[in-house]
Amino acid sequence: MQTRQLGKTGPVVSALGLGAMGMSGMYGPSDRAESLATIDAALEAGITLIDTGDFYGMGHNEMLIGEALRGGLLKGNRRDKAVLSVKFGAQRDPGAGWIGFDGRPAAVKTSLAYTLQRLGVDHIDIYRPARLDPDVPIEDTVGAIAEMVQAGFVRHIGLSEVGVETIRRAHAVHPIVDLQIEYALITRGVEDKILPVLRELGVGMTAYGVLSRGLISGHWDKDQGKAKGDFRAYSPRFQGDNVDKNLALVEALRRIAQEKGVSVAQIAIAWVAAQGQDIVPLVGARTRARLSESLGALDVALSADDLAAIERAVPRDAAAGARYAEAQMAHLDSER
């Protein structure tokens, strides 16, 4: 397995990470046995970075990962094989609705306590607020995590979906090892201001949405995403004429992939990985088949000519529709 370091002070992790969100209902129903088998296959393949959030399935995702890490009698505990990245702070109600964010120091420590219990571990490798709490200074939130670092319950601090001012303020309190943010061929806003600041400060990036929630995977069709609980039904990129325009971009990308003898998903993942050694793509594979395909991206070498051809096929800002619904975009510090 190829490896990359997260920032100047962060851990060395696999060059591809597994994002487990989709295993807990965010994309509609998931299969528990297949989810466990997929996490198992990822660990066996050498993937070390596993990303989750305490609000994915209201704790379901953490308990699932904890079960996979325990591995059963034959495999034994595999905690030492995993670098656990956990997001916290999103508040949900019993009906699975989203009701805000809590980044207060006391809430940070409470969330961490429950996360450690659900995962069945004694520390989290990278702990990060999922969003910026507009009512709590980032210094207070990061300061509380720093106290947990000193206490041994957390190893490193990360951020998620925040802008340059917040990154600088947080990094001044405690070294930040990585920013988790959406980055893909059709989502490139991070290149303008955020990525240069990350590199200036020595902060890495874990890129989620590298396949744009399946849209540019090469497997998407318009009948997908309609299952109950699949939030893509509310995503502008999957609605109306937007989805047709975006799928046309996928077909242009498919021609390049076919010439190289690889899949669309593999070339899309490889493109993100090729943007810098300080970037680790997260893939949201929910099945062993999709995981195997994603792992194949690590063997895809893109030449300067390949990168130019991809740029022509999928120009920057070519995507139709925003990456989140308008109300959600308004809450993203990274978009300010």
Indicate which CATH number applies to the domain containing 54: 3.20.20.100
Enclosing H/E stretch for 169: helix 164-173
Q: Is 56 labeled as catalytic in the residue annotation?
A: yes
Task: Check if the beta carbon of residue 86 is closer than 8 Å to that of residue 25.
Answer: no
- The residues, any chain, with a CB within 8 Å of residue 130's CB and separated by 6 or more, are 53, 55, 87, 88, 89, 90, 101, 160, 161
pLDDT of residue 223: 63
pLDDT of residue 311: 92
Nearest to 61 by CA among 13, 9, 106, 115: 115
- Any idea which residue has 């109306």 for tokens? 240
pLDDT of residue 90: 93
How many Å apart are CA 280 and CA 1, to the nearest integer? 13
pLDDT of residue 231: 62
Range of the domain at 253: 3-335
Q: Is 303 helix (H, G, I), strand (E, B) or coil?
A: coil
- The overall pTM is greater than 0.75: yes
Long-range pairs, 260-264, Cβ under 8 A, ≥24: 260/300, 260/306, 262/296, 262/297, 262/300, 263/218, 263/293, 263/296, 264/216, 264/217, 264/218, 264/219
How many Å apart are CA 87 and CA 70, to the nearest integer? 21
For residue 51 the two structure tokens come to 């990303």
Domain count of the fold of the chain: 1
The residue annotated as part of the active site, out of 56, 127, 183, 208, is 56
**What string of pLDDT tens digits covers the 336 residues of the chain?**
999 999 999 999 999 999 999 999 777 778 999 999 999 999 999 999 999 999 999 999 999 999 999 986 556 678 899 999 999 999 999 988 888 999 999 999 999 999 999 999 999 999 999 999 999 999 999 999 999 999 999 999 999 999 999 999 999 999 999 999 999 998 999 999 999 999 999 999 999 999 988 788 877 776 665 555 566 666 878 877 888 888 888 898 999 999 999 999 999 999 999 999 999 999 999 999 999 999 999 999 999 999 999 999 998 888 877 777 777 777 788 888
pLDDT of residue 244: 83
For residue 212 the two structure tokens come to 């744009």
